[in-house]
Amino acid sequence: MVTFSERRLVVEDVHNLGPDYDKTLMCWYERFQDHLKKGNIDRPEVFCRMWDFYLQYCAAGFRARTIQLVQIVFSKKRAERYDAVR
């Protein structure tokens, strides 16, 4: 952040995406499970187990708020008005 301030960049917006990312990961998990049951996934069993673990572990981290995902918008100079797109 020091480098940004030295170059006179201004923080216009900070958005915490973590709560939405939990839902996104669980949707990916459910879709993967559906495709797996239909036989549409041509990957070794070890890959499928690791992918299941990864998706559920990350979703749990976002749900417990031990993992954060933020989007920060910077500008070179302060805008008269910044409208956050959400």
Strand, coil or helix: 45: helix
Residue tagged 């070179």 (tokens) = 76
27 flagged as catalytic: no
Exactly one of 58, 63, 71, 81 is catalytic; which is it? Answer: 58
Residue 73: strand pairing partners: 13
The interaxial angle of helices 18-37 and 45-63, nearest 10 deg, is 160
Catalytic residue ranges: 58
